Structure 1
Amino acid sequence: MADTGVDIAQLTAEQQATLEQYTAVTNQELKDAVPLLERCRWNVQIAIARFFDGEPPEDPIPSAPPPQDIRRQEVLLNGFGAAPRSSLSGRRPRVEPAPRVVPQPEGQVSTQVPFVFAIIFAPLNLIYSLLSKSFRLFGYLFPFLPRVWGRLTASNINTASVRRTTAGRRPLNPRDTAARFIREFQEEYGSNTLPFYEGGYAQAFDLAKKELKYLLVVLLSPEHDDTSSFIKDTLLAPEVVAFINHKENNIILWAGNVQDAEAYQVSTGLNCTKLPFAALIVHTPQVSSTAMGIVSRIAGPTPPNQFVTKLRQAIRTNNESLDRTRAQRAEQQATRNIRQAQDSAYERSLAQDRERARIKKEEAERKAREEKEALEREEAKQRYAANLAQWRKWRAKSLPGEPGPEEKDVVRVSIRLPSSERVVRRFKEDAEIEELYAFVECFDVLGEGVVEEVEEPKGFEHSYGFQLVSPMPREVFGVEKGGTIRERIGRSGNLIVETLDEEGEEDED
C-alpha cells in the first residue's frame, strides 16, 4: 500500500492533474485519494468507479487502459461484463454493477495544438484576426452589407446547418439536456404525467443511492424504427404510467436521447446493445454496502404488461434487502440523533457550568476589588492622619509666640472651640489670617507643652477642615481670602470654630 503521507510535490504533472480531476468529482481527502489512485495505476475512471461503487478486493489492473474516444464518452466503470465475484453465493442472481457516468460535453474537450504548428500558423491567425475585425467594423459602418452577404451565402449556410444536424446536436450541460429532452418528448407525443427527472444521470444516480430508490433509465433514439411505437404503446400506456407514478414503488425516471453526449455515454456504460432500452438500477447491499446494481434490463420493443411485470418482479426481489438497509439507516439515524441530543445536552450543561463559574469568578473578583479598595482607603486615611499630625507639629513649631502685655498693637481674639472650650489669644496686628487658623489647628499640640521639631511632610497638601465665623452678625472669615487679622477682624473679636464636612458644605451652598 502506498504511503498515506506522500508529498504532492513529488508527483508528476500528469499525476497531479489526475489527482485534481479525481478530487473534483469525489471530494475525497488527499490522504485517501492518493493511495487509491496508486492502486488503480493512476486511472481516474477506475478510481472514481471504485470510490462510488465500493472498492473491490485487489484485482490485477492492466498497466494501460484500453483506448477510448474521450470526445464522446467518459465511462466511469470498472470491468463491466466481467465474471461475478467469487464471494457471491451461487444461489444469488448475478447483479451487474451500475456505473456512475459523469458526462463531458464535446464543447468542453479542448485539443492543444503542437507548439511547432502554433508558430507556423501564428501569422495566419494574426491576419484572420485583423480581417475579422475589419469586416466587423465595415458591418457596423454599413449595416446593409451583412444582409446582402447573408442572401448571397444562404445556400452555404443551409448546407452547413444540415451537416451539423447530421453530425450531432449541440452539447449542453446535464440539466439543460434533460430539459431539452422533456420539451422535445412533449412536443412529439403530447403532454403526459411521466415523472421525468429534470437533471443529469449522475444526479439521479446519487439521489437513488441516497434515498434508497429505484432508478429507471430509459434510452431512446429518434432514428430507430421502434421508438415511436415503444413510446406510444408501452411507455405511455396507462398501466406503465400508473406503475411508475405509484409512491410505494419509489421509482426515479431518467430518460435520454442517445444523440446527446450524456445519454450516449450512459448507453455505453450500461452496455446497451438494442434500442429502445430500459434498465432498473438500485442499491445492492448484497454486493457491497455502497454498490449500485442493474437488477433488470428491458431491451427492444416490449408489451406494456411484460414491461410492468419485469419491473415489478425486480422490485419485489430487492425490496426485502432495501427494507433491511432502510431499517439499518433509520437505526443509525436514531442513534445519531440520540448522540446529538446527548451532545447538545452536555454542551448546554457545560455552558451552564461555565456561566456559573464565570459569575462566581466575577463575584470573587468584585469582593477582592472591594476589599482592596477598602484597604487602600484605610491606608490612605491612616497616611493622611500621620501626615496631618506631623504637619501640626511642624506648623506649631513655626508659630510665633503670643505678644506680651507691654505690646500695644495687638488684636485680641476670643475663640470657642468645637469642644465648647473658649480660648482667648492675642496676635500681632500684622499677623496673617492663616496664623489664626494655624493656631486653632495646632491648639491640641500647643497644649501638650514642648513641641518636638519635625520636618514638613513631603507631598502633603494641607487644608483646614474648619472655618471661623462671627456669631452676630454672622460673617465667615475664610482663610482663602487672605489678609491680616486686623484688617479682617479688627481690634478684637469673638469667633466660633465650625467644622467643615461634605454635608455641611452642601447645606452652606
Structure 2
Amino acid sequence: MTDLSSLTPSQTRALSQLRDLTNGGDDEVAMGVLVSVDWDVQRAAEMIFDGHVGAGNSGGRRYEEFDVDDSEQGLLRPREPSTSVLSLITYPLHLISSLVRFIFNFLRIPFPYIPFLSLNFYRRASGRTTVRRGGGIARWIRELEEETGAVCAGSSGIVDATGVQVDASVDASAEAGPSTLTSRHTGSGSNKLLPPFQLGTYDSILRLCQSSFRIGCIVLVSAEHDSTADFKNTTLTNNEFVQILVDNNIVCWGGDIHDKEAYEASLKLGATTYPFVAFIGMQPGRNFTSSSGSTTTTASQSTPALTVLSRHFGGSACTSSALGMHLRETLLPRVKPYLDRTRTHREAVERERMIERELREAQDRAFEETKRRDKERMLKKMEEEKAELQKKRAEEDIQRMESERLERQRVEALEQAEERDRWRTWFRQALPAEPGVNETIRIAIRMPDGRRLMRRFDANTDTLDTLYAFVDTELVSTSVSSSLLPSPSYTFNTLHALLSSHLSKPNEWWGFTLLSAYPRQLVPWAPDTLLGGIKALSGGQLVVEMASSRVIGNGKNTNGKGKGKAQEEDEYETESSDED
C-alpha cells in the first residue's frame, strides 16, 4: 500500500490532478508514472492516454545497445521556471555572481567553477526565447566566418517556435537525405563551408532537438588553446564533415567559452579540454524506478529523454576524420533509426489528433464564420480610420519638411550672397591700379545694363582673375557690400581652390560669362591665365552675359536681359555712366 503521507504538497497536488484526469485509477500506478516523468502531470497523462502504461515488457521495442554517455540523461531538459521564498533570498547572490562572471569574461580570464557562486535559484518566467542578433553566439559565428574565410551552410532566416533561427529550406520533421550545400550568404564567392550553426540560446537548441527528434552537435572552443585555430580551419571547414551534418539534418550550435552562454553550456556538458564537441539526442529512458523501488515500469523505459550521446575532447579527438568516422560508423547507424521511428510515431499521433480537432471545429464552423465576418468588418473600419490618420500625419510631415527645406534654401542663399559680397569687397581692395600705356591691353566691356566700360590691363601681369574681378565689382554698386568685411584669408589662390574643389562650373559662381564681340567667342575663366596670351582679347571688345542659374541677392535667378530687367530680376545695382 502506498504511503501518501510521505509525499510533499506539490507531489500530492500532482497525484490529485492526475487522478481527476484519469477518473480515478490505481494510485500506485499513477505515482509510478509521475515519478518516471519527474511529477510532470501533462506528460504522465499523455503516457496513460497514449497507452504506454501497462503494456508490459513483451510489447516494447528492443534497442541495440551501444556505448552512449547517458550519465546526464534527463538532465539536459531546458530549465523550467520556479518561484519560491528561496528565490527571493538568493536573488542578491545571483546578482553578485553575474557581476563577477561578467568582469572575468570582460578581462578574458577563465572563470573557475565555484558551486557557491553558481547557485541560481532565481529564474525568469518562461516565454518565447528572443534571438539576440548582436549577442555572443552571433558574434562568434561572424568572427568564425571572417577567420576561416568560409560561410555557414544553409540559410538562417526563420525563427521557429523554440526561438532558434533555422534553415528555411529544411523541414525539422522531414527525414534527412542527400542534399547540396548552399551558402547562407549569397554572392560571397567562397567555396569553403562551415557547419550550419544556428542562432539562439543553448536551452533553445535543446528544446529544438527534443521537439524535432534531431541530433544536436555542440561545438565549444577557447581562444586560449593552441589547437583552436587549427580546429576551426581544418575540421569545421572540412566539406565531407559538413556534408554529413547537413545530409542528416543535425542541429549545430557553438560558441567560445568566454561568452556567457557558451560558458554555461560547457559547465552543463562537463567540458574540460578544448576544442570540445558533443553530440546529443533523444534516447529511451533507462533505470527510472517507481516509488516502491522494486520494479521498473515499462512506460518509463519507453519515455525518451535528452541524452549526451558522445563527448570528444581536444584537438586529436576533434579532427574531421575522427568525427566523420564516429558519425558514419557508430552514432548515426545506431541513433538515427530510433529517432526516425519515434518521429514517425509522433507524426502519426499528431495526425490523428489533428483529424479529431478538425471534426470538433467543424461543429462550430458556422458560428465561427459569423464571428469572423463581424470581426473583419470591425477591423476594416479600424484600419480605414488608422490609414486616414496616417495619411493626414504624412501630409503634415511633408508640408513641414517642405517648409524646412525652403527655409534652409533661403538661409543658404543669404549666406552665399553675403559670402559673394565679401569677395566683391576684397576684389575692390585687391584690384591693381590701371597701368600706363606701355605693354597694356585696352579692353572695352559692354555691361548687361547697356553701360560701356573702358580699362587698360597689363598684358604681362594681369590674369583672367583680374579681368573677372573687375567686371564683378562693376555689376553691383559699392553700397551693397560696403558693410561686409572680407576674411584675411582671401587671396586669388584661395579663390582658385574654392572654384576647383566645390564647383563643377566656375561661371556659375561668377554669375556671368565674357564673350568677344566679333567674332563671337567665349572667354571662360581659368586660373593663372595671362591676358596677353588670349587671342579672343585681341579685338578689345567684350560683352558680359549673365548666367541664368546664378542666384544672388535675395535668391532670385538672373537672366541678364535688358537694363531694367537686369535691375529688377537680378537685384544688381549698377554704377552710373559718369563714373567711367
Q: Which TM-score applies when normalising by structure 1?
A: 0.39
The structure with the largest helix share of the pair is 1
Q: Which has the larger radius of gyration?
A: 1
